[in-house]
A and B are shown apart, each in its own frame.
Chain A
Amino acid sequence: MDWITTVDHKKIAILYLIAGGFFFGIGGIEAILIRIQLMKPMNDFVSAQVFNELITMHGTTMIFLGVMPIIFAIMNAVVPLQIGARDVAFPFVNALGFWTFLFGGLLLNLSWIMGGAPDAGWTSYTPLSSSEYSGTHGVDFYTIGLQIAGLGTLIGGINFLATIITMRAPGMSYMRMPMFTWTTFITSAIILFAFPAITVGLVLLTFDRILGANFFDVANGGNPVLWQHIFWIFGHPEVYILILPAFGIISEVIPTFARKRLFGYSSMVFATILIAFLGFMVWAHHMFTTGLGNVANALFSISTMLIAVPTGIKIFNWLFTMWGGQIRFTAANLFAVGFVPTFVMGGVTGVMLASAPADFQFHDTYFVVAHFHYVIVGGLVLGLFSGLHYWWPKMFGRILSETLGKWTFWTFMIGFQLTFFVQHFLGLMGMQRRIVTYLPNQDFDLLNLVSSVGAFLMGVGVIMFLVNIVITTRKPVNAPNDPWEDGRTLEWSIPSPPPEYNFKQTPLVRGIDAYWKEKMAGHTEMTPAEPVGSIHMPSATPLPFVMSVGIFIAGLGLMFSKDDFGNAFMNGLFNNYIVVIIGLLITFGAMALRSLYDDHGWHIEPEDQDEKGVRT
């Protein structure tokens, strides 16, 4: 019950981590099934229909329900601590963001047991995703599930923007913010501008499918290419929503374990902003083969290539952060160090893809599959592993086993390279993506087998990480404030895990890497910026949970509003939108309750602050 009503950012972080981990597991199982199917030519392990459902759900789940929530978990756990805040700007809204994400994700995955998963690819290109060509409820689960989950992301992003703008500790100017907070800030800004696009797209597609609109139907004056534009105007920035937080994590981990401040901090900030800006200018490079014309292809080619410049700045800055340092190879740092060359591999193939005429050959082949897995798995997932190993003691007060962590790294890394390096060649040799099987003797057989073996190895790596978590959870909570001894930012100046109110007194920030600066000045803790006083806390409330349940019910109701259940009662309930209305009533009722009932929260008085250090 405590977990359902919580509005504490640290607990919400853990909720995000558990839910994200759960969906990540589902997405991983889907990936393994895909690789089993492709292990040998003309395999019939799964049917063509199931295969299309697997690839669609693997992509959708991993992007929206796997990695994004784990990013949000780390952001929630770390950002308020890094800026010296007691919580996020809107704790209630933060909880709402989590619950809408969770119920959206559950709705999407219910499709496996309720009549067909989405099967039109994670991009759901129309007309394949129209009700004419995708007759099951699969794509409805996609549009409505993602809509609800996306609501949570948008809420979360806005919340982080407000938090970072308004709640930084005294003295923390923008140019003194830790890099991870910077990337969270920029990521949230991208979310704010990109998610409305997918929201609109999903609404239009829902209208086409459920209410018989014609936005994407040529015969009635619509245009399917419109969907591609809407999708990629969201979809390309989405890539940067994913990778920028990883950049932030790497920018925290590498300086800590090299015992040096980040090289070229201001150019890192500048590069991050530039990447975000360019990220909105390049969506049509996903559509070179759609036939946009020579001028558009040329312009989008060049703008895409330009992204290599700020990314290059980042790579070299990381390398030169380590130059002259004293590098310790902890598990967290292994992942960070492994990230750099792997991500560079993903980056260079990105520039290759940017060349439109060459992209005519690369597009929709395994070369592209290899490229974006190098970016998302080799970049983001390695970054997440690094961040989780790094901040685990801060989140849970227990240090993950280093030995198991290193084993995880090597198994996962080797598995990863085996899986995806060979896929570059599969693509160049003519293997298109999203095919359920392939004819023998096309030189695809061996490389596909290698790729599948690598995927199993990656699976073993992930299992090792889970084992590590289970073992660690049984250890006592004894991590020191600054377990890596070279922590540089504010979160390492308070206990692990932090008390409910984070900072007893808001710290005073005197420069970049505030805690490191104090340590170098011979202090053991931060200089406070305020006297000890009564701390105001928000009340726990089940309303965010109830609101999300309402939306979930309304979504299900809308989806089945045209179905014939062969039962007058059910038909009456669904076909007259009664279920939708009940769901919305629940949500709006909870909203009204929230508005009408004034909750002022509660206070922790100074005399309670020592023993009130509630352990999360």
Chain B
Amino acid sequence: MMKQWQVAKRILPLLAVFSLLLSACGREDLSVMKPQGPVAQGQYDLMKLSIAIMIVVLIIVFAIAAYVLIRFRRRAGQNEVPEQVEGNFKLEVIWTAIPLLLVIVLAVPTVQTIFAQGEDLSKDKNAIQVKVTSHQYWWEFTYPQYDVTTSQDLIIPTGKKIAFELKTADVLHSFWVPSLAGKMDTNPDGTVNKFSFSAPNEGVYRGKCAELCGRSHAFMEFKVKAVSQESFDRWVNEMKAPAVLPEDTQLAEKFKTNCLSCHAVGDQGGPVAPNLTGIGGKEAVAGILLNQREGQEEGNPVLDNMKEWLHDPQSVKPGNTMPNPKDLGLTDEEIDGIAEYLANYKLDYE
């Protein structure tokens, strides 16, 4: 018993060092190893447990291997034949039993976590319901309780449980916000997936599509923005306010005929393409062109990003279904005008 404790005492500091090493990895808004919510935390705890067990296994195997390889090399002049050992029943039972034990240690919390995190909150009145619909290559978020639809930036109140219903409009995608929760696939109708997470702290978290979905799979990113309850309520109100159209009536007309056949702003337009309400205030243009934010070096001014996108959508997201505005008969000035209008279309809720 004493001896075993000695072994444990030697391994513990190693584990501590290792978990420090792990937690030094990656950005807070992105890394699995810096969980920012209870769901990701639970998954991270499970990982730490399994990593700990596995490191112990690795140490034992590597130690035996190193010992054997050094101790039993064939030396010069060694010609007698070594004893031909058939096996050892006791030893073999031991190394069947120990892995089995380790598996049980890992299996019990695994099953517990599966059922704890797999709870269906879709009927829960206290949870914010969000229907996620994935498209090649953008994300649509609908809040049925508030009758609001947005795209790319998922706005949620801090501390509230968010209950998701996931489906896809075309191919399979996978909804993943590493620092808040593991991923879940978006299947077509009939196999709609449900899961939930919450974010206790305000912040912007990076989301990714994790299932190969075509040419712009890598560019199908989104953001989860956790804000205070008051800000969230204000955001809902702003979203429901009537649309703000370009002041220049000619441009407004162009925008209506060319863009609003697919896109929507406020109460106008269609549901085929990303909802543009308040797009100027979003974290990125097209999900991948990061907008400059206060106190952060990353990103370009939103106007530049908007122009880059509108002048050649295919170069930003190859294979996307948006027609090139030039092909719709818009002049460069008109495109710039629309870019300017969209870049300045911000909602005031923070």
Contact = CB atoms under 8 A, between A and B. Distances in A.
B347 interface: no
Interface string B106-138: 110011011101100000000000000000100
Contacts of B189: 218
Interface string A361-387: 101110000000000000000000000
A309 interface: yes
Main secondary structure of the interface of A (DSSP, over half): helix
Contacts of B83: 260, 324
Interface string B166-206: 00001110101011011111011111011000000000001
A340 interface: yes
Size class of B's contact patch? 35 or more
A259 B211 CA distance: 49
A48 B216 contact: yes
B58 interface: yes
Contacts of A442: 26-27, 30, 206
Contacts of A437: 218
Interface in A13-62: 47-49, 52
Contacts of B85: 260-261, 263, 320, 324
B217 A289 contact: no
Given A290-B187, A301-B114, A439 B288 contact: yes
B61 A344 contact: yes
Given A125-B211, A322-B69, A429 B218 contact: no
Contacts of B100: 309
B43 interface: yes
B62 to A, nearest CB: 6
Contacts of B62: 341, 344
Nearest to B75: A326
B218 A223 contact: no
Contacts of B172: 125, 127-128, 224
Interface stretch (A193-201, A345-353, A605-613): A345-353
B116 to A, nearest CB: 9
A359 B182 contact: yes
B212 A298 contact: no
Contacts of B75: 326
Given A260-B84, A320-B88, A434-B217, A361 B32 contact: yes
Nearest to A56: B212
A293 B114 CA distance: 9
Given A351-B54, A434-B217, A319 B65 contact: yes
Nearest to A432: B210
A464 B111 CA distance: 48
B46 A322 contact: no
B212 A291 contact: no
B206 A430 contact: yes
Interface in A516-537: 520
A337 B69 contact: yes
A363 B170 CA distance: 21
B84 A261 contact: yes
A477 to B, nearest CB: 28
A173 interface: no
B99 A309 contact: yes
Given A297-B114, A352-B54, A289 B32 contact: no
B47 interface: yes
Contacts of A441: 298
A316 B215 contact: no
Nearest to B83: A324
Interface stretch (B89-97, B271-279, B334-342): B89-97
Nearest to A309: B99
B106 A351 contact: yes
B110 A301 contact: yes
Nearest to B215: A48
B241 interface: no
A590 to B, nearest CB: 40
B213 interface: yes
Contacts of A349: 54
A148 interface: no
A363 B182 CA distance: 9
A479 B33 CA distance: 55
Interface stretch (A264-272, A401-409, A502-510): A264-272
A435 interface: yes
Q: Which of A125, A264, A298, A432 has the most CB of B within 10 A?
A: A432
A355 interface: yes
B212 A48 contact: no
B217 to A, nearest CB: 6
A356 interface: yes
Given A289-B184, A322-B69, A294 B118 contact: yes
Given A48-B318, A223-B190, A324-B83, A430 B114 contact: no
B215 A127 contact: no
A175 to B, nearest CB: 12
B58 A327 contact: no
Given A327-B74, A357-B46, A348 B103 contact: no
A317 interface: yes
Contact of B61 (A218, A291, A315): A315
B55 to A, nearest CB: 8
Given A127-B171, A263-B85, A355-B50, A291 B185 contact: yes
B110 A357 contact: yes
Contact of A364 (B136, B206, B210, B318): B210
A302 interface: yes
B214 A133 contact: yes
Contacts of A520: 81
B57 A348 contact: yes
B10 interface: no
A443 to B, nearest CB: 5
B56 to A, nearest CB: 10
A90 interface: no
A281 B3 CA distance: 39
Given A291-B193, A352-B51, A355-B110, A322 B72 contact: yes
A360 interface: yes
A298 B43 CA distance: 15
B103 A351 contact: yes
A520 B84 CA distance: 11
B87 A264 contact: yes
B16 interface: no
B25 A425 contact: yes
A313 B189 CA distance: 45
5 contacts: A133-B170, A309-B99, A344-B61, A429-B31, A432-B208
Interface of B: 22, 25-27, 30-33, 40, 42-44, 46-47, 50-51, 53-54, 57-58, 61-62, 64-65, 68-69, 72-75, 78, 81-88, 91-92, 95-96, 98-100, 102-103, 106-107, 110-111, 113-115, 117-118, 136, 170-172, 174, 176, 178-179, 181-185, 187-191, 193-194, 206, 208-218, 288, 290, 298, 318-319
Given A290-B193, A322-B72, A352-B54, 10 more contacts: A120-B212, A125-B212, A133-B170, A263-B88, A294-B118, A352-B50, A357-B114, A358-B50, A435-B218, A436-B218
